[in-house]
Amino acid sequence: MIFLGAGPITVSSTLRAADNVAGNLVLFNPNGAWCWYQDDRVIVDQTNGTMLLGSVADSPGPGGADRRGDVDVTTYRFDDGSRRLFTLHESFQDDDHNVPALMQRSDGRYVAAYTKHNSDKLTHYRVSTNPHDAASWQPDEPFDWALTPGSDFNVTYSNLYYLSGEDRTYNFARANNRGPNFLVSTDEGDSWSYGGKLLYNPSNVGYVNGYLRYASNGVDRIHFIATEHHPRDFNNNIFHGYIQNGQMFRSDGSLVDGNIYDQFASHQTDLSPVYYSDEEDGSQEFSRAWTTDLQLDAQGNPYAIFTARANDVPVNSNGYNDHRFFYARYDGDSWNVHQLAKAGARLYTNEQDYTGLVALHPHDPNTLYMSTPVDPRDDAALANHEIFKGVTTDDGANWNWSPVTWNSGVDNLRPTIPSWDGDNTVVTWFRGSFPSFTNFDTAVVGIVDRRFERTGPVHYVDAAAANTRFAADRDRPERRSRPAGRRLALADRIRQRRQRADVERDAHFRRRGRCPDAKDDAVRSRRGNLRSVRLLLGQSERRLADTGRAFGGQYAAFPRAIVAAGGAIAVRKPGDAHRRRRNGPVSRLRRTRQRGGRRGDRRFHRRSLDHDRRQDTHLVRRRGLRAGDRPIARRFQCGR
């Protein structure tokens, strides 16, 4: 694929039709998807600067039948962009409902919990072997719900929350009575016991008795929003409550259930109402609500997203094609609900209420990311689901929208935002073909947004012989890379630097460096002149190239080439000594020669590779670039 900066340059109609991304798009897992009733699906370990993503693979994606139903955890390092995939359970079940919930323990180790979709009564648990390391995990230790009181339904979903004030871990699942139940652990996931029914609904209308989304302050409270049933079967409303010290409360703090550990649970309607759906009487209405996301603000008050059908007249007809997102926020006294945007039609025929969904920012109630096939700025229909960023300044009454993706050739679905910190945001989603939750060809991708980095829009297209010269040279023998941190002999260092600085007139560079598939191509400056820029490929992308797969699309017969508009590009290169700064070793060597020096002058080799390596982000300058050339695209990762 080729990445082009959205600068003031003219591109062909073919390029305009390509996918666009506002930010640094990262491929985390080439084969993965998730449902939205498991959390946390993505977590950030701030100790070592890594992110863990849970997902489920399917046979239409890369790897084929060998990857069908694999339950995965992908580790991504923010500092160098490297990725590592660990499969928790091979060939488990090809169903996105089986995605693992992830949690980091106080000792730094990780816990993963996952189930099948209404297929058995087992919740599977695995704990990482070492702290801050997802490379190895202890054996699977399943919990059997058949041994719990009143066991009458197979289990689905996992939601892990640790409360430090209780030193207790909760896992919420759908189980007995086809409704929400929970397990508890007093050793942070090493062992589990049955806690009780969270809610009880005796009506048993249709498929199940309620869909819940959870959020916790991590200390003493776990909040949740709930429906009565599945929207396919019932005109749902939305309710809110929270648990604290073994009791359940309404939004205003009034008691609902004095003991959540006994077998006497409350009904959803005993909780605080967030939203009452309109009566399905044939008038203009919003009906059959469904929970989407829940977070807590700095004061501990909840804010939420839910969906509803619009104008479903007659019932179970038009509403399939017109869903709406709603934003709800509790101000300490009452719930305030605003219609957010149009969510479009159902994703596919068999699921009338599936939409692209919305992710609330966990550290900013005024920011969210939405997947929709309807442009929220003007209600124009889009060819596919796109991701939009929404920002409000009046508590959700009005929103300003900016596209994160646009002109996409495939759907971008189900964004989620892990808790990180106030200065950094990572938004992840999956993109590709999603005919059903048991049949999908999607890749887990995302953007990493750091406030100290400035990014510009890019768009990408499949590489082909017509837009990159590398196709003719992909079989060129690769150079052996040296271990990071190793000082090279002086002659080798000089020779390698000369080779790296040898820019050919046709703007093609040699393959080299710690990322053996890094390759170069031409780039047009603001004036339309060809410039030369070296860019890097991540390990996952290289592996994808071999299978002929890309983000739900197709690669050409050679790895992705990347091109950016502008004369300078900030490139993050993990431990890579190939620096091209104005004051870098190559430039100093050139100046040394101009002043009569020789290659062996200590003036040159005194600057070590280790010193260069400390520069994580730098400007790449090439022969022939002018000071007026604008940096547009930023930061490409090279996985190792």
Residue 333 pLDDT greater than 70, yes or no: yes
492 plus 363 within the same structural domain: no
Let me know if residue 146 belongs to a domain: no
> pLDDT tens across 87-120, in order?
999 999 999 999 999 999 999 999 999 999 999 9
3-state secondary structure 419-450: CCECCEEEEEEEEEEEEECCEEEEEEEEEEEE
219 and 300 share one domain: yes
Asked if 526 and 616 sit in the same domain, the reply is yes
Q: What whole-number distance in Å separates Cα of residue 426 and Cα of residue 416? A: 9
Do residues 493 and 366 share a domain?
no
As a whole number, mean pLDDT of residues 449-457 equals: 64
| Torsions phi, psi for 498 (to 5 deg) | -65, -40
41 near 101, Cβ under 8 Å? yes
Predicted pLDDT of residue 563: 32
* Cβ contacts of 335 within 8 Å, gap of 6 or more: 240, 251, 272, 273, 274, 275, 328, 329
pLDDT in tens, 205-238: 888 999 999 999 999 999 999 999 999 999 999 9
97 falls within a domain = no
DSSP 3-state of 51: strand
Most confident listed range (402-416, 476-490, 615-629): 402-416
Please give the pLDDT value at position 609. Answer: 36
Q: What does the pLDDT read at residue 465?
A: 55
Is the same domain home to 404 and 478?
Answer: no
DSSP designation for 97? G
Inside any domain, residue 464: no
Asked if 392 and 511 sit in the same domain, the reply is no
Q: Do both 478 and 401 map to the same domain?
A: no
Specify if 38 maps to a domain: no
Structure tokens at 80: 């160098």
Whole domain around residue 525: which residue ranges?
469-620
pLDDT tier at 422, thresholds 50, 70, 90: confident
**Rounded percentage of the chain residues whose pLDDT exceeds 90:** 60
pLDDT at 292 over 90: yes
What integer pLDDT is reported at residue 421 of this predicted model?
Answer: 85
Mean pLDDT for 121-147 is 96
Could you give the maximum distance between any two Cα atoms of the chain, in Å? 91
Tens digits of residue pLDDT in 351-405? 999 999 999 999 999 999 999 999 999 999 999 999 999 999 999 999 999 999 9
Higher pLDDT pick, 392 / 423: 392
* 162 located within any domain: no
Residues 235 and 368 in one domain: yes
Residue 565 domain-assigned?
yes
**Per-residue burial over 578-602, b = 16 or more CB atoms within 10 Å of its CB, e = otherwise:** bbbeeebbbebbeeeeeeeeebebe
Residue 122: per-residue pLDDT:
97
Rounded Cα distance, 114 and 156, in Å: 8
* Helices and strands counted in the chain (H then E): 6, 39
Domain tally, the chain: 2
pLDDT mean over 263-281? 92
- In a domain, residue 36? The reply is no
Q: What is the pLDDT of residue 457?
A: 54
Mean pLDDT (whole number) for 271-278 = 96
Q: Is the link from the previous residue into 40 a cis peptide, with omega within 30 of 0?
A: yes
Both 408 and 336 in one domain: the answer is: yes
Residue with the bigger pLDDT between 631 and 463: it is 463
For residue 455, the model assigns a pLDDT of 55
Looking at the fold, whether 411 and 506 belong to one and the same domain comes out as no
pLDDT tens by residue, 295-327: 999 999 999 999 999 987 777 666 688 999 999
Q: What is the pLDDT of residue 319?
A: 62
Report the 3 state secondary structure along 215-250.
EECCCCCEEEEECCCCCCCCCCCEEEEEEECCEEEC
Of 148-157, 224-233, 614-623, the one with minimum mean pLDDT is 614-623
Which of the four pLDDT bands, split at 50, 70 and 90, describes residue 471? very low
pLDDT by residue (tens digit) across 473-517?
433 333 334 444 444 455 555 555 444 433 333 333 333 333 333
Q: Residue 627 falls within a domain, yes or no? A: no
The pLDDT of residue 453: 61
Are 581 and 502 members of one domain? Answer: yes
Question: What mean pLDDT value characterizes the chain?
Answer: 76
pLDDT band at residue 541 under the 50/70/90 scheme: very low
Residue 38, pLDDT above cutoff 60: yes
Highest mean pLDDT: which range of 288-297, 509-518, 585-594, 619-628: 288-297
**What is the model's pLDDT at position 423?**
83
- Of 549 and 190, the structure prediction assigns the larger pLDDT to 190
